[in-house]
Amino acid sequence: MNPTQRPAQAGTVYLVGSGPGALDLMTVRATRLIGEADVVVHDHLIADGALSLLRNDAQAICVGKKASNHTVPQNELNLLLVRLAREGKKVVRLKGGDPFIFGRGGEEIETLFEFGIPFEVVPGVTAAAGCAAYAGIPLTHREHAQTVTFATGHLKDGSVDLDWSALARPKQTVVFYMGIGGIGEICRQLIVHGLPATHPAAVVQNGSSERQRVLIADLATLPEQIEKAGLTSPALIIVGTVVSLHRKLAWYQPSNWPRV
Ligand code: SAH
């Protein structure tokens, strides 16, 4: 048997990605491990209904943080995982999307490594893949983009510290996670570094869920349109000429949510 197909082991931490939002976009392995866990330590943003898969006698601990409100400091959280594993529990550390993409999964399992705690990693559908699919915006396309870059738009000290010249190169798609707060600066920098103000840009809020909203604009108008439409986190920004394909390829209409 492939070792990763074994039932969950006592004293092990499973770092599990829950995908972009819809429960059935979670992997079969993630679903199984959640059902076997003694304790699930989870973020705020996880697949809708994932906790309903827990055994009745299992414990759920929310360590969720929103951008400005770090409920559990990262080092405390790392040590919590160590403690739970040392108590002999089957521990699932459940995150949104993929645990190795802007998920601090690396930091958590580095601590486990240092303490000699066994761990496994279960990948998930990252928000970029989920949002792109459900917004009908292919991230690569032979006529549009041969490169795709994932960047964080999270502001540190009021500025986004990124290699703007690289992000403004043509023939690529750039996806910004956590970009809503810094959207004005992101669009401004991309234009300053050479992209036309008319370069297509989109926002996908709550991608892949029933609450998905998609806004299509360009670099010049995106910030004000986001404000007008009242779009908030969790949202992903997609910049590139692939965004123009949305007009033809948008196939998903959430049944009970207005289009922007
Ligand atoms: N590890 C996660 C990302 C965590 S960072 C992953 O791989 O997807 C959190 C950011 O991800 C949010 O601020 C938002 O930019 C993005 N995000 C996560 N889920 C999303 C969703 N369903 N729709 C839009 N953006 C999402």
Per-residue pLDDT of the chain (260 residues; tens, 9 = 90+): 676 788 999 999 999 999 999 999 999 999 999 999 999 999 998 988 999 999 999 999 999 865 455 668 888 999 999 999 999 999 999 999 999 999 889 999 999 999 999 999 999 999 999 999 999 999 999 999 999 999 999 866 667 789 999 999 999 999 999 999 999 999 999 999 999 999 999 999 999 999 999 999 999 999 999 999 999 999 999 999 999 999 999 999 887 655 55
Decide if 105 is inside a domain. yes
Residue 36's CB is within 10 A of a number of other CB atoms, namely 17
Decide if 5 is inside a domain. no
Q: Which of 80, 106, 122 is the last residue of a domain?
A: 122
Decide if 197 is inside a domain. yes
Decide if 3 is inside a domain. no
Same domain, 83 and 48: yes
Q: What is the DSSP secondary-structure string of 90-121? A: -EEEEESB-TTSSS-HHHHHHHHHHTT--EEE
Residue 211's CB is within 10 A of a number of other CB atoms, namely 13
Q: Which of 101, 122, 143 is the last residue of a domain?
A: 122
Pairing verdict, β 172-177 and 235-239: antiparallel
Question: How remote is the CA of residue 218 from the centroid of ligand 1, in Å?
Answer: 21
Domain extent, residue 234, equals: 127-249
Atom of ligand 1 at shortest range from CA of 105: 1
Does the annotation mark 89 as catalytic?
no
What is the side-by-side order of every strand in the sheet holding 213-218? Answer: 147-152, 172-177, 235-239, 200-205, 213-218
Task: Give the residue whose CA is nearest to atom 3 of ligand 1.
Answer: 102
Same domain, 182 and 242: yes
Q: Which of 24, 38, 48, 65 is catalytic?
A: 65
Residue 53, C-beta contacts closer than 8 angstroms, at least 6 positions apart: 31, 34, 35
Under 8 Å between Cβ of 245 and 137: yes
Residue 21, C-beta contacts closer than 8 angstroms, at least 6 positions apart: 47, 48, 96, 130, 206, 207, 208, 209
Atom of ligand 1 at shortest range from CA of 212: 23
CATH of the domain at 84: 3.40.1010.10
19-35 pLDDT, tens digit each: 999 999 999 999 999 99
Decide if 28 is inside a domain. yes
Pairing verdict, β 172-177 and 119-122: unpaired
Same domain, 131 and 245: yes
Decide if 257 is inside a domain. no
Q: Which of 122, 137, 168 is the last residue of a domain?
A: 122
Side chain identity, residue 139: L
Q: What's the rounded Cα separation, in Å, for the pair 99 and 96?
A: 7
Best mutation site among 45, 205, 232 for ligand 1 pocket (most ligand atoms within 8 Å of CB): 45
The helices-and-strands tally (H runs, E runs) of the chain is: 8, 12
Question: How remote is the CA of residue 124 from the centroid of ligand 1, in Å?
Answer: 12
Residues with CB under 6 A from ligand 1: 20-21, 45, 95-98, 101-103, 126-127, 130-131, 177-178, 204-208, 233-236
Distances (CA, A) of 201 to 167, 183, 190: 13, 11, 11
Looking at the structure of the chain, the number of domains it has is 2
Atom of ligand 1 at shortest range from CA of 177: 15
User: pTM of this prediction?
Assistant: 0.93
